[in-house]
Structure formats: C-alpha cells, structure tokens
Amino acid sequence: MSRRALVWSGSVVAVVALAALCVHAAGTGLDETDTLTGVVGAFVGLAGLGVSVYGLIRGDPPRNAGAGSVVVNGDNSGVIATGDAADVRMTAQPPREDGSMTTEPPPEDGPS
C-alpha cells in the first residue's frame, strides 16, 4: 500500500471514530462518554507506541533529496561526497573557551 493511501485511510478512520464518539456522546450521559473516551484513548496511545517502536526497529536509512544533497548519519565529521567529484573533509571543532564557535580551519600538524 502506498504512503498516500495509508495517510488517507488513517484520516478516514480518525474522522469516522470522531463522528461515532460524538453520536455516542449525544445519546448517553457525560459519565458513560467519559469512560469510553478514556478506554479509546488508552488503545490509541498503545497503537501509537506500537507504530513508533516499529519505525525504530525498521530503521529506514535517510534518503537523499536530490543531486548534490548531503545525508549525515551519526556524528557530523568525516568525508562528504556529493556525487559531483568534490570531496570536502570536515572535522568537528570544540568551542572556544568563551563558548563561541570557530570557523577557521584547524591548525595543520607536523613541521612547518
């Protein structure tokens, strides 16, 4: 099933459930409706927890947005290859003593 079909079917189910809850609330008292909404809310919360755990276990890798886009997994240092034969090496620099960040390249190690 496509993503669009899943979104639409989920939206339809939510609207139908809301309409059914409104009809039930109009036909019964607030005490009984309050109990029903508590039970429905618990099941919706459990379903949301299940969907989020499934998403974590599935672990789809990030997708590139197009030509020249960059996807970073893990930390933010390493080699970035955009596919246009340009490699840019980036390393994370610690902040300065005063808390500001530096944009200067790191000093080169070795003899000058």
What is the radius of gyration, based on Cα positions, of the chain? Answer: 26
Work out how many domains the chain is built from and give that number: 1
- Token duo for residue 73: 């997994």
Confidence bin at 34 (pLDDT 50/70/90): confident
Please say if the pLDDT value at position 86 is more than 60.
Answer: no
Q: Which domain holds residue 25?
A: 3-58
Determine, yes or no, domain membership for 26. yes
The answer, as to whether pTM is greater than 0.85, is no
In a domain, 30, yes or no: yes
For 96, phi then psi, to 5°, come to -70, 175
Mean pLDDT across 26-45: 86
Assigned domain for 111 exists: no
CA trace torsion 39, 17, 8, 52 (10° rounding) = 0
